[in-house]
Amino acid sequence: MSLKRTTPLASALLLATALLSPPVASAAPGALAVPDISLANVQAHLSSFQTIANNNGGNRAHGRPGYRASLDYVKAKLDAVGYTTSIQQFTNSGATGYNLIADWPGGDADNILMLGGHLDSVSAGPGINDNGTGSAGILEVALTVARENLKPQKHLRFGWWGAEELGLIGSTYYVNQLPAAEKSKIKSYLNFDMTGSPNPGYFVYSASGQPSGSLALQQTLEAGFTGKVATELTSVGGRSDHAAFARAGIPVGGLFTGAEVTKTAAQASKWGGQAGVAFDRCYHRACDTSSNIDNTALDRMTDVIAYSLWTLAGTGTPPGGEKFTQDEDLNLPDQATVESSLTVSGISGNAPTALVLGVDITHTYRGDLVIDLVAPDGTAFRVKNSSSDSGDNLVTTYTVNASGEAANGVWKLRIRDAGPQDVGKLNSWYLQF
């Protein structure tokens, strides 16, 4: 939570403004139909992880043979369908650990969408829900990308992390060894850690629950459940592999079906299952086996992994749209609203469903900022609300469905500083059509 003080008057103003705010923009649905991911195939990966654990002393933990066997299984599947894979080695607690990185050839190398999850279990058990589920889910989504021969606008990368259970070791190693220029190419990271809990909840990582949480990613994930099941936001903080990405300033999001926390009566009436019982009673225990899975949750979660990828990857849209940049510096005074203009010309028709808005803001507390993109006709698209995110600068991109707006004309970035004390400066922003 924020340590900043908000006066009652400021709270009332914030609330009033929130009620009057335009709807928050979300990523546009992909032009291609999102495939239904085969539950049977995901289950087959889980049963392979179970067999690997059975044959290797009952676990798939860092430094144990069951981990490496799990990695070899995933790698072989990806290699067979055309991924470029690499094994990254690190040392922790006197044992060698491994990350598996898989790149789908093609797409914009400067605009990477990355999906990941940890592949290791605790040593107490086979780790089928934690995190065979996320590992198998992103594997089957990656295999579906290959099966459909998807040619997205963005470059797709997948990561299976080692030694998460020892303190997020593998993912932290990966992010820390990346040169700054490589880090900045990763525009979004989505994390999937526990997606088939036996007494499931449907949680989306809250954008305001951690540094670098992305409202656009949160909303895209939420949209994937529309018409299927209600979701709740959860503040996962630094409890899984998105943490290192977030620390590096990369926008993050993710899904979770719950671990040791108990399901409330309200959640049980909404989602079914048992109130007063943990989402996963076998969390970090020997009983986290193939039978410790709710298949409905696993199916829904995996389909939303696919939804997020197909929605965010820019499928079906021609690559390399024209980019317009406003480089003029603009001060962001305390508790004031400012606007910066950008003239767009020479584009025929309307803006795209996935108009990319890039912002580069220096600030001492970015949680203060409320940002709208205003179309030439005055329509405002909210891309960021104020939050308790105490991080400083805001260097990120948002995707706005602006297909109802003429592309040509004067666009504005409207920035309101909604919290006392902290101030900043807009360095630049751009629109890519």
Residues making contact with Zn ion (CB under 5 A)? 130-131, 193
Kind and range of the H or E run holding 121:
none
Q: Tell me how far, at minimum, the Cβ of 23 lies from Ca ion, in Å.
A: 24
Tell me: cis bond preceding 331? Omega within 30 of 0 counts: no
* Cβ nearer to Zn ion, comparing 170 with 352: 170
Q: Which does 419 bind (CB under 5 to 8 A by kind): Ca ion, ligand DPN, Zn ion, none?
A: Ca ion
Q: Tell me how far, at minimum, the Cβ of 331 lies from Ca ion, in Å.
A: 12
Catalytically annotated residue among 164, 165, 222, 405: 164
Residue 240 sits in the site that holds ligand DPN (CB under 6 A)? yes
In one-letter notation, the amino acid at residue 58 is G
Residue 121: both structure tokens together: 């279990």
Q: Tell me how far, at minimum, the Cβ of 395 lies from Ca ion, in Å.
A: 18
* Cβ nearer to ligand DPN, comparing 196 with 352: 196
Kind and range of the H or E run holding 120:
none
Stretch that binds Ca ion, among 37-45, 105-113, 300-308, 363-371 (CB under 5 A): 363-371
* Cβ nearer to Zn ion, comparing 130 with 303: 130
Residue 420's alpha-carbon distances to 9, 207, 362, in angstroms, are 12, 21, 16
Residue 256 sits in the site that holds ligand DPN (CB under 6 A)? yes
Gyration radius of the chain's alpha carbons: 22
* Cβ nearer to ligand DPN, comparing 191 with 353: 191
Residues in contact with 263: Cβ distance below 8 Å, sequence separation at least 6, in sequence order: 199, 201, 271, 273, 274, 275, 276, 277, 278, 279
| Residues shown for the chain | 433
* Window 96-155: residues binding ligand DPN (CB under 6 A): 130
Kindly give the interhelix angle for 295-312 and 133-147, rounded to the nearest 10 degrees.
Answer: 50
Helices (H), 89-233: 133-147, 169-177, 180-183, 215-223
Could you say which of 4, 151, 185, 239 contacts ligand DPN (CB under 6 A)? 239
Residue 389 sits in the site that holds Ca ion (CB under 5 A)? no
Residue 112: both structure tokens together: 């990477």
Residue 419 sits in the site that holds Ca ion (CB under 5 A)? yes
164 is catalytic: yes
At residue 271, the 3 state secondary structure works out as: helix
Closest residue to ligand DPN: CB criterion: 239
At residue 413's C-alpha, the angle toward residues 410 and 419, to 5°, is: 155
Q: Which does 372 bind (CB under 5 to 8 A by kind): Ca ion, Zn ion, ligand DPN, none?
A: none
Q: Tell me how far, at minimum, the Cβ of 287 lies from Zn ion, in Å.
A: 16
Residue 281 sits in the site that holds ligand DPN (CB under 6 A)? no
* Window 184-223: residues binding ligand DPN (CB under 6 A): 193-194
Residue 149: both structure tokens together: 């021969």
Considering only CA atoms, which of 115, 73, 79 is closest in space to residue 98? 73
Q: Tell me how far, at minimum, the Cβ of 285 lies from Zn ion, in Å.
A: 13
* Cβ nearer to ligand DPN, comparing 104 with 225: 225
Residue 61 sits in the site that holds ligand DPN (CB under 6 A)? no
* Window 301-320: residues binding ligand DPN (CB under 6 A): none
Residue 225 sits in the site that holds ligand DPN (CB under 6 A)? no
Q: Tell me how far, at minimum, the Cβ of 256 lies from ligand DPN, in Å.
A: 5
Residue 150: both structure tokens together: 């998807």
Could you say which of 236, 282, 359, 375 contacts ligand DPN (CB under 6 A)? 236
229 class by beta-carbon count within 10 Å (0-12 exposed, 13-18 middle, 19+ buried): middle
Please answer whether residues 203 and 195 qualify as being in contact, where contact means their C-beta atoms are separated by less than 8 angstroms: no
CB-CB neighbours of 180 under 10 Å: 7
Kindly give the interhelix angle for 65-80 and 39-54, rounded to the nearest 10 degrees.
Answer: 150
Residues that bind Ca ion (CB under 5 A): 334, 368, 417, 419, 422
Instruction: Just list the catalytic residues.
Output: 164
Residues that bind ligand DPN (CB under 6 A): 130, 164, 193-194, 236, 239-240, 256, 259
